[in-house]
């Protein structure tokens, strides 16, 4: 693996951790829509780091999610619960970012934070 990829992987993981921190802070301030979005992005950045370790880069969120399922969930490298969590986080992010009159609830944010934290932690373990 090139040094560039190692630096990018590290940068993705840093963004994942900072997104988790931002999500927690936003949730504390009752900004549930924005907290859900940041929780998703934490998982997205971690997923991007994991794929980059395998030499894969994608320009679309759907590509990242599909590749995680194909190369990690279906092969058993990631538990099915992590694949489901990534899908759900993407859906709840859609509500948070584009929901119009629909909003993310406090309970959904709590679940999103837990799911994102588990996903990021599992990816970190796989990468170390």
SS3 of 46-78: the string is HHHHHHHHCCCCCCCHHHHHHHHHHHHHCCCCC
Residues 46, 124: contact at Cβ < 8 Å?
Answer: yes
Count of the separate structural domains present in the chain: 1
Range of the domain at 8: 3-127
Average pLDDT value for the chain: 96
pTM over 0.85: yes
Q: What is the pLDDT of residue 124?
A: 97
* Residue 2 pLDDT > 70: no
Quick one: what percent of the chain has pLDDT higher than 90? Answer: 95
Looking up residue 93, the CATH number of its domain turns out to be 1.20.120.330
Residue 61's CB is within 10 A of a number of other CB atoms, namely 17
User: CA geometry: angle at 124 spanning 82 and 77, to 5°?
Assistant: 45
Q: Identify the pLDDT of residue 1.
A: 54
Instruction: Copy the structure tokens of residue 76.
Output: 């058993």
Q: What pLDDT is recorded for position 28?
A: 97
Reported as a single tens digit per residue, the pLDDT across 62-108 is 999 999 999 999 999 999 999 999 999 999 999 999 999 999 999 99
Crossing angle of helices 32-53 and 3-28, rounded to 10°: 160
pLDDT given for residue 5 in this prediction: 87
């Amino acid at each position: 693996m090139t040094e560039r990829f190692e630096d990018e992987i590290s940068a993705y993981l840093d963004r994942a951790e900072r997104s988790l921190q931002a999500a927690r802070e936003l949730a504390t301030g009752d900004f549930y829509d924005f907290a859900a979005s940041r929780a998703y992005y934490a998982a997205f950045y971690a997923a991007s780091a994991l794929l980059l370790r395998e030499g894969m880069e994608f320009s679309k969120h759907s590509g990242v999610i599909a590749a995680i399922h194909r190369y990690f969930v279906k092969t058993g490298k990631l538990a099915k619960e992590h694949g489901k969590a990534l899908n759900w986080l993407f859906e709840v992010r859609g509500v948070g970012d584009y929901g119009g009159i629909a909003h993310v609830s406090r309970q959904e944010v709590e679940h999103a934070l837990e799911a994102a934290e588990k996903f990021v932690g599992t990816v970190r373990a796989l990468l170390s």
